[in-house]
Structure 1
Amino acid sequence: MGLKREWKNSVATLLGAFALYLPNGVLEPSIPAENPLTAEKVALGKKLYFDKRLSADGTVSCASCHDPLHGFSDGKAVATGIRGQAGARNSPTVLYAGFSEVQFWDGRAPTLEEQAKQPLINPVEMGQPSHDAVVKAVASIADYPPLFQKAFGSPEVTIDRIVQAIASFERTLAPFSSPFDRFLAGDKNALSDAAKRGFQLFQGKARCVTCHEFNRSFPYFTDNKFHNIGVAMKGNFEQLAREAQAIQARGDKEAESTLAHKPGIEALGRWIVTREPKDIGAFKTPGLRNVALTAPYMHDGSLKTLEEVMDFYNRGGEPNPNLDGGMRPLNLTKEEIADIIEFMKSLTDESGGKNFDWEELKELSRKTRAGELVAAPAP
């Protein structure tokens, strides 16, 4: 990653490059060399993102669970897939996902491209029998081959091209348009007095920055690590681990994705990926930008409000043998909790900024949900 000195095009040397704008001093996201960001891929990715025809029964798109109307989450405790099936984990926001080192709550996907592959063939999510079936479905839609021609230089539809386009679109979902961003840029009146007090508590007494790290070059409020804070204590971890190992022993390359949606076993968290005892019940620290838009909270959606989240942390989490050593009671007053929540609300973006038109995407979501469109119009 390179340090940005001003708001400017991060990939200006590329023909047709998409102008990804970042505030002064913010580090660029890592973009795979094999998938440079271009305007044509972003446009194709946007269309694919909203297209329910990528799912087996034509009812679920990426936007179904990562909806612009809900801060690019879905407002549900756990995701809902085809045929109304309930998943086992909360849908994280896609906003700023391009700045995350790994994807999913358990970190099983190293890139947005790899992340985009899994829901397509997960039987609980989009339900396609194979990636070949996804390719066949997309290639059969007349709009798409010309768009693949523009984005990749030939009309051939492949699974790698599909997910590269979706990932390219998702990397643009970084608004940097919150009151807190204006505050960082020098507008000292952008935050209320309560939010300013909350920011100080966030960095001090409340110890939020222990995991929700903040610095001006990487202002996403995450350490990109995994922690057990007690949310996942829902069963006998030893028995769950034995069940998980039996599934993994089948040699199924999709076993991690399967386990992530299996009730009970999903609570093993990062352990499903690493099998390290220290990772039992540990989940990725989410970023906090737009957190006021993405209730309910935690990997299982078990906490309905920011007030419930703060109460949970204030009492030191839920005791269990694998609890992170940093978890302990905070002794915050009601007034201090209210101030911290005001600060978190200041992280809410007010528009898509210079990178995308949020209102346009909200309207696309409304129309696709109402059946007025099956996907974004061809660019």
Structure 2
Amino acid sequence: MIRAAYLVETPLDPRAVAEMMAGEQSSGTFVRVEGETEALRTRFGARVVSVEVIDERDRPSLHSAYLERKRVSGPWQRVAVEIDYPEENVGLNLPNLAATVAGNLFDLGEVTGLRLTGLTLRPEYRDRYLLPSLGVAGTRAALGVQERPLFGTILKPNIGLSPEETADLVERLCEAGVDFIKDDEIAGNHPHAPVRERISAVMARVRCWRQRSGRDVMVAFNISDEVDAMRGHADHVEAEGGTCVMASLNWCGLSAMQSLRASTPLAIHGHRNGFGAFARHPALGIDFSAYQVLYRLAGIDHLHVHGMGGKFADLTEEVAHAAKLSLQPLGHSDDRVMPVFSSGQWAGTLPTTLMETGSADFMFLAGGGILAHPDGAAAGVRSLREAWDAIQAGEALEAPGRPALAAALDFFGAR
């Protein structure tokens, strides 16, 4: 069975609404139809596992014309509901899995709030889907970095640079000592910087850096596009010696990410931009706990979780929870994905990140935190390394002897 958990708000009988949800998303509709036999319902019908009233409110979170037509008023109860869906209803079909556990449920007139809060799969069922190509262990092995977080950055200015200007910046960042570099999510296939020209220009510098230094830097090129174009761009990255591509998950979609995973051995850096539209309203949408299951079934390797104390609206505990979920196996194989912290991150946010996640298995991406360091990008990278050294030594970040970190504290700490 596939178990989905929901937070539902309704003025109607909660058990009746839960049963209606189960029917709507499996074998039934709003009225019994010809051919809907008991045998069919037994085999294919979803089953309500639990219904628990959490609290009661005197006004609805969302408008429902359906309830107005029925002249139904409050109080409105918030209810935790769990429903089991037969795996046979889905088979091996990721878009259909999403349509089953979510789909039209958000539009039901009987509810004034509905949120998918969890998705639990049997490990055997998860193992039928695609796995990450590199994941946590493979990404570390590719970069030769163990024990500590991976320190990286985002190319800034995020748009407007020519391919050669982008390559110049990447070369400087390699020399500064980063492990990982990624495009911004709005960087794409621009007239002033076609993606394949950017890839070739950048990878020429990365290959030279490998030869000079004996170490690698992983570059995540944003190849978000329609699926055939993405596959072609990924082939070009691989041909140029690259190891990673990036895609905007919400705008490319589940099936496109599956197709990309099936066609390339490169690491897929999953950017979740736009996730706030799914999750920011507490009465509507999809929790990260369910969202990350769906996209991990598509075989991504890295997943953005936002940042602590950064520029976005997430609570620290929400970001930490997202990172911990990414590192929990869903199946029998090692299908963990590398959580990626970004958005307003710098050396001063590293201690909280480590404390809250309880693990060093993450990417820590500092865009301005590296590129805007008052002493330059190399000092920005050193400030992260010095912060890590201070944490490992059990010392305060303000302890003397770490000049790049001190400069970062003076500059970013006052902002």
Query: Do both proteins adopt the same fold according to a TM-score greater than 0.5, normalized to the shorter chain?
Result: no
* Greater share of residues in strand: 2
Structure of greater Rg: 2
